[in-house]
Structure 1
Amino acid sequence: MMVIGLILLALAALPAVLSTINLTVLGRTPLRPAREGTLVSILIPARNEAANIRPAVEAALASRDVAVEVLVMDDGSTDGTADIVRSIASRDARVRLLNAPPLTDGWTGKIHACHHLSEHARGTHFLFVDADVRLSPQAASLLAGHAQETGARLVSAVPRQIMKTPGELLTIPMINLLLLGYLPMGFMRASLHPGFGAACGQLMLMEREAYRASGGHAAIRSFIHDGIQLARLFRHHGFMTDLVPGERLASCRMYTRFTDAWNGFAKNAHEGMAKPVALPIWTALLLGGHVLPFALLPIAPIWPVVWAASLSLATRAMVSIATRENPLSILVHPLTVLTSLAIQWGVLLRIGGIGQTGWKGRCYPVGATR
């Protein structure tokens, strides 16, 4: 049992150490306003977003310290999304409503909408945001300024994640835990290797010429998760990418129901952890570092197990506080990890043509995406 306890302690120590280093690296990242002459095209793909689109567009229009245009691609909405954007555009010439052409074979919906948004954008930088993201007034300027200052051609950030229901607390906290606890930020900034490429699809700024040269969304047309794929694509073409702290740049409430959160994370899983080789490794790392220490505490309260559980909770607390997440996420941390693994294994076991994945009510067979 002592050997098992020491293994669990090592697995818990890994994300604890990496999170401490990563938060230090990110905390020392200076963000500067954009240079004169910068135009940021804020690009919002929208499909049935009547509940979200007005605050999303109004937040984008409140941007300061940089010129912006706001383009909304209405992708076959059957609610009032287009009417809402049209009413805002009638009062502010910076807003344009576009209608997505019919989905082309071989493309996924959001990727298709983002590609066509880019074709209409006039900015020096493209800032892709989801309709449930609320930009801060400084976000567009600071993201563009960081790109100009560092030479990064793609800069992304994880918005502050708003979580109010148990279903949200059991799913969404894994985003920041995985990024901060398992991605070495120092190596990411020192290397162009595509394996270190990471981005959050909710909030991504790209320099126009690099976007065009890399192929942009057209080069990843069959994928669902543009955050991971675009970061790797840029690096493959020799363009540096970066992540910056996002909790003060934007906020996002992704889901309000557990079923929506489950399905939302499941749609991206086969492009992330849910692979035959990767998922067993991730299961060992996450189960051993964040679940088994708590399961063993009542039956084997030896010091390595106690320390492993303590380190796991400390990591969760450190990440939650730094990213301004709901502190209740700390209390349900082991359950959150278990839920994440259940989603990933559920998707993996359906690979082989069974099951569906998609975006905003549009479905594709799992085998149709890479």
Structure 2
Amino acid sequence: MSIYILGFIGLQTIALLWILFNSAFIKPFVISESSTPKPFVSVLIPMRNEERNIEELIHSLQTLSYSSFECILLDDQSSDQTRLLTERAIQNDPRFSLIEGQPLPEGWNGKVHGCHQLSQFAEGDLLLFIDADVRLAPDTIERTISTMAKHDAGMISGFPHYGDRSHLSQLLVTLQHFVVYAHLPTIIANKTKLPSFTAACGGFIAFTKEAYESIGGHASVHSSLLEDVHLARVTKKNGFKMLLVNISSHVTCYMYESIQEAIEGFTKNIFIGINKSKVIAFFLICWYTLMYIVPTPLFVYSIWSGNSMLSLPLLISIAQKVWVDYKNGTLLRYSLFMPLSALLFVFVLARSMYTSITGKAYTWKGRSYS
């Protein structure tokens, strides 16, 4: 039995070393330099039933230190008080404007259509698309401009720090960082224009206007439920550099308020994110079960048997999550629950695949998508 355990420990150690290596190629959010150009920036935010986020969102944007920006918000057919609360929050601030979203055309994803409409009103040379549940540190725009200029990028994106409003949802939400560090070869993603090797987060995407118009904007991915990744691929296909950046020090997202919301949200896009590949889904289910769920009963057995070697797979798997959480500002206590995070991941992936295979619709914010 010990030879199998040694092999298991070796596999866990290789996975840890890979994560450490991978983290070196996710670019930092660089400090703005005086020589960096100061373009006019359009901050663009689609909103649908976001009344719980409006006050904090607007306050965050009003504290931005960059002097040359506009903020355009779009109310996408909300059925709550989104519009009223937005008007009240922006009051007479000339930097802000609110537009009414048009009905969703057939074949379009709701958020994509909202971003497309926003882009038509934008006057900036740099377009920054964020979600309504995102909060920005005061110098975020300066760092965005500086990072794009330093790396000559047409598009940048990154996964934010996830604010802790629902402990259970954090177990699933913060796994987004882990999936990138564990599975995306970031040296290829950030140093080449190969479309297949990329990742992006729809909560924070910045484009130069030239790149955005050249790729056809959001209209080029109008039906996508995973528009962030598909935009990144289209950007690379059109010859522009797309960069994955660690923005967690300056961008915070309050993504879901409950575990139920998190499950519904990830069910919508996780199977699409692997191109609806049953082979990849089966591999990931087996991998996460073996690497991050199985070590728990081994650890329990190690206590009962007195064989401390059996505890190492769990400790090393937790160490992998500790490093990723440390790099992204996540509370390290969530690393201890990596087995539960993996179990949730397996459940959501299986649920997403089942929904797709059976031809059922994905539902989100009162809309259904096939």
Q: TM-score, normalised by structure 2?
A: 0.92
The 3 A distance-change label for structure 1 pair 202 and 3 is farther
- Between 1:51-60 and 1:142-151, the stretch displaced more is 51-60
Q: Is residue 2:317 matched to residue 1:315? A: no
Deviation of 1:10 (Å): 4.4
Asked whether the 8 Å contact 2:195–2:232 carries over to 1, the reply is: yes
Q: Is residue 2:60 matched to residue 1:59? A: yes
Structure 2 residue aligned with 1:24: 24
Deviation of 1:287 (Å): 2.1
Structure 2 residue aligned with 1:117: 118
Q: Which residue identity does 2:335 align to in structure 1?
A: I
Deviation of 1:319 (Å): 1.4
What aligned pairs does 1:304-343 form with structure 2 within 5 A after superposition?
305-343=310-348
Structure 2 residue aligned with 1:368: none
Deviation of 1:281 (Å): 1.8
What aligned pairs does 1:1-370 form with structure 2 within 5 A after superposition?
1-2=1-2, 4-26=4-26, 30-33=30-33, 35-273=36-274, 275-299=277-301, 305-365=310-370
Q: In 2, distance between residues paired with 1:138 and 1:293? A: 43
Q: Deviations over 1:206-258 (max 9, x none)?
A: 11111111122111111112221111111111111111111211111111211
Asked whether the 8 Å contact 2:29–2:147 carries over to 1, the reply is: no
Deviation of 1:177 (Å): 0.5
SS in structure 1 of the partner of residue 172 of structure 2: coil
Deviation of 1:149 (Å): 1.5
Asked whether the 8 Å contact 2:269–2:352 carries over to 1, the reply is: no
SS in structure 2 of the partner of residue 115 of structure 1: helix
The 3 A distance-change label for structure 1 pair 299 and 191 is same
The 3 A distance-change label for structure 1 pair 293 and 120 is same
Superposed CA RMSD in Å reads 2.1
May I ask how many residue pairs the two structures share in their alignment?
365
SS in structure 1 of the partner of residue 278 of structure 2: coil
Q: Which residue identity does 2:19 align to in structure 1?
A: S
The 3 A distance-change label for structure 1 pair 28 and 108 is closer
Q: Deviations over 1:277-336 (max 9, x none)?
A: 211122233222222222333447767754322221111111112211122311211110
Q: Which residue identity does 1:292 align to in structure 2?
A: V
Asked whether the 8 Å contact 2:301–2:310 carries over to 1, the reply is: no
Deviation of 1:353 (Å): 4.8
Asked whether the 8 Å contact 1:167–1:256 carries over to 2, the reply is: no
Asked whether the 8 Å contact 1:126–1:207 carries over to 2, the reply is: yes
- Taking only the aligned residue pairs, the percentage that are identical comes to 26
The 3 A distance-change label for structure 1 pair 184 and 32 is farther
